[in-house]
């Protein structure tokens, strides 16, 4: 299978003591949506900037479309499209004017530029809004304009760095459809960074989970979840477990393989959630730990992250070992 992206032992350090990339290696097959899932500060954006030739790594090697990103950055930039975390459009220009200007940056002009602008406005559903100022666009429309700009040079690889951050649920769902359409209809390789579990689960055909500048595991979302046998029991406590009573009460409960408590949330792993639930609740009650609600579920990507990163996903953003994005 042809590789669209290859990275070997990428490292990047920012003074005084931030190891943004700590030996990352991965391969991305052409024509896939490759998800990079991790909390804020995991190193996703730094890795994206290295692959887009916008940041030089301290060591390691990387190629995009078979082009060395360090030796031939200009060639890499001609082969890719990039949609960053922040809007790349000029708010005081129309959608059409933004696309024309972006095309001119790529050396496209004349009839070809006019054709590509119209083609990409139609692709992202902005024909009717093409001659409105970009500052009048909704958040979802502005992100679609960013994608249209990223597609103007007909890239082989499209980099989407946190493309749905800040969008409302309806706009996020529309953006998901746009991304799936690009991959399915145009056989484009899409690099998608995200800190949303549901987004990675829905869109990625291959997934790398990153934490503290490292790839902790990778595979398809289903493969990663199947790798965790058994059930997860979620218990919402009435009060924060500040004294550790909930955690200690579970020490003698048979059938639990692990248990973690964060604030008011208790998460336990077991081979059979239904079988172990009565003993678990009885143990909490015996230690006067009050329960608000209980749920038993099959493994999720959050469970995968917890297993391989050693901490819950929602704790990682503010953890003491978080690194720069």
Confidence at 178, pLDDT banded by 50, 70, 90: confident
d(CA 101, CA 97) in angstroms, rounded, equals: 6
184 near 172, Cβ under 8 Å? no
Q: What is the pLDDT of residues 256-309, one digit of tens each?
A: 988 888 889 998 889 899 899 999 999 999 989 999 999 998 888 888 888 888
Q: What is the DSSP string of 133-179?
A: BGGGS-HHHHHHHHHHHHHTT--SEEEEESTTTT--HHHHHHHHHHH
pLDDT at 248: 87
pLDDT at 190 over 60: yes
Q: Are residues 215 and 265 in the same domain?
A: no
Q: Are residues 219 and 247 in the same domain?
A: no
For the chain, what percent of residues have pLDDT higher than 70?
Answer: 96
pLDDT at 317: 58
The pLDDT of 55-76, averaged and rounded, is: 96
pLDDT at 303: 83
CATH number, domain of 290, equals: 3.30.70.980
Is residue 306 situated within a structural domain? no
Domain boundary among 183, 207, 225: 225
Least confident among 108-112, 140-144, 256-260:
256-260
Q: Structural domain tally of the chain? A: 2
Q: Are residues 144 and 161 in the same domain?
A: yes
Least confident among 117-131, 142-156, 195-209, 295-309:
295-309
Q: Are residues 233 and 130 in the same domain?
A: no
CA distances from 245 to 1, 90, 148 (A): 53, 55, 54
Q: Are residues 132 and 250 in the same domain?
A: no
Q: Are residues 234 and 88 in the same domain?
A: no
pLDDT at 68: 97
Q: Are residues 140 and 220 in the same domain?
A: yes
The pLDDT of 123-140, averaged and rounded, is: 95
Q: Are residues 44 and 118 in the same domain?
A: yes
Is residue 316 situated within a structural domain? no
Residue 9, classed as helix, strand or coil, is strand
Least confident among 105-119, 185-199, 309-323:
309-323
Confidence at 321, pLDDT banded by 50, 70, 90: very low
Is residue 317 situated within a structural domain? no
Is residue 312 situated within a structural domain? no
CA 18 to chain centre: 21
- What are the phi and psi torsion angles at 76 (to 5°)? -60, -45
Q: What is the pLDDT of residues 69-82, one digit of tens each?
A: 999 999 999 999 99
Domain boundary among 200, 225, 250: 225
CA distances from 217 to 57, 111, 159, 306 (A): 22, 47, 21, 11
The CA dihedral of 88, 76, 210, 38, to the nearest 10 degrees, is: 10
pLDDT at 204 over 90: yes
CATH number, domain of 127, equals: 3.40.50.300
Least confident among 88-97, 137-146, 147-156, 296-305:
296-305
158 near 84, Cβ under 8 Å? no
Confidence at 319, pLDDT banded by 50, 70, 90: very low
Domain span at residue 275?
229-298
pLDDT at 223 over 60: yes
d(CA 50, CA 37) in angstroms, rounded, equals: 17
pLDDT at 316: 64
Q: What is the DSSP string of 14-41?
A: ETTTEEEEEEEEEEEETT-EEEEE--TT
Confidence at 315, pLDDT banded by 50, 70, 90: low
The pLDDT of 213-238, averaged and rounded, is: 91
pLDDT at 93: 97
Least confident among 152-166, 188-202, 304-318:
304-318
pLDDT at 267: 87
d(CA 121, CA 149) in angstroms, rounded, equals: 9
pTM beyond cutoff 0.85:
no
The pLDDT of 10-32, averaged and rounded, is: 95
Q: Are residues 27 and 101 in the same domain?
A: yes
pLDDT at 61: 97
Domain boundary among 225, 260, 286: 225
d(CA 193, CA 209) in angstroms, rounded, equals: 10
Is residue 320 situated within a structural domain? no
205 near 218, Cβ under 8 Å? no
Is residue 103 situated within a structural domain? yes
Is residue 48 situated within a structural domain? yes
Q: Are residues 208 and 246 in the same domain?
A: no
Is residue 315 situated within a structural domain? no
Q: Are residues 157 and 65 in the same domain?
A: yes
pLDDT at 97: 97
Q: Are residues 194 and 257 in the same domain?
A: no
Residue 190, classed as helix, strand or coil, is strand
SS3 content of the chain, % helix, strand, coil (to 5): 35, 30, 35
The pLDDT of 47-66, averaged and rounded, is: 96
Sorted by sequence, the CB contacts under 8 Å of residue 172 that are 6+ apart come out as: 164, 199
């Amino acid at each position: 299978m042809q590789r669209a992206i290859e990275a070997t032992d990428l490292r990047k350090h920012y003074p005084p003591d931030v190891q943004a990339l700590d030996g990352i290696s991965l391969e991305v097959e052409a024509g896939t949506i490759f998800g990079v899932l991790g909390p804020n500060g995991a190193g996703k954006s730094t890795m994206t900037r290295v692959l887009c030739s916008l940041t030089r790594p301290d060591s390691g090697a990387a190629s995009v479309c078979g082009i060395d990103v360090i030796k031939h950055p200009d060639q890499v930039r001609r082969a890719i499209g990039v949609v960053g975390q922040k809007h790349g459009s000029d708010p005081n220009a129309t959608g059409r004017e933004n696309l024309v200007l972006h095309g001119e940056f790529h050396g496209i002009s004349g009839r070809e530029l006019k054709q590509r602008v119209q083609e990409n406005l139609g692709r992202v559903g902005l024909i009717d809004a093409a001659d409105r100022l970009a500052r009048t666009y909704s958040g979802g429309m502005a992100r679609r304009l960013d994608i249209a700009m990223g597609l103007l040079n007909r890239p082989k690889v499209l980099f989407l760095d946190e493309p749905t951050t800040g969008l409302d649920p309806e706009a996020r769902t529309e953006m998901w459809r746009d991304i799936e359409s690009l991959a399915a209809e145009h056989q484009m390789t899409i690099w998608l960074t995200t800190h949303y579990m549901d987004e990675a689960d829905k869109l990625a055909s291959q997934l790398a989970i990153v934490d503290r500048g490292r790839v902790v595991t990778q595979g398809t979302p289903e493969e990663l979840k199947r790798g965790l046998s058994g059930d997860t029991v979620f218990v919402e406590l009435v009060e924060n477990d500040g004294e550790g009573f909930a955690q200690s009460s579970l020490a003698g409960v048979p059938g639990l393989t692990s248990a973690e408590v964060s604030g008011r949330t208790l998460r336990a792993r077991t081979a059979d959630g239904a079988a172990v639930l009565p003993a678990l609740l009885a143990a909490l009650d015996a230690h006067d730990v009050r329960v608000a609600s209980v749920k038993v579920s099959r493994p999720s990507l959050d469970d995968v992250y917890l297993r391989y990163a050693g901490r819950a996903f929602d704790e990682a953003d503010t953890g003491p070992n978080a690194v720069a994005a």
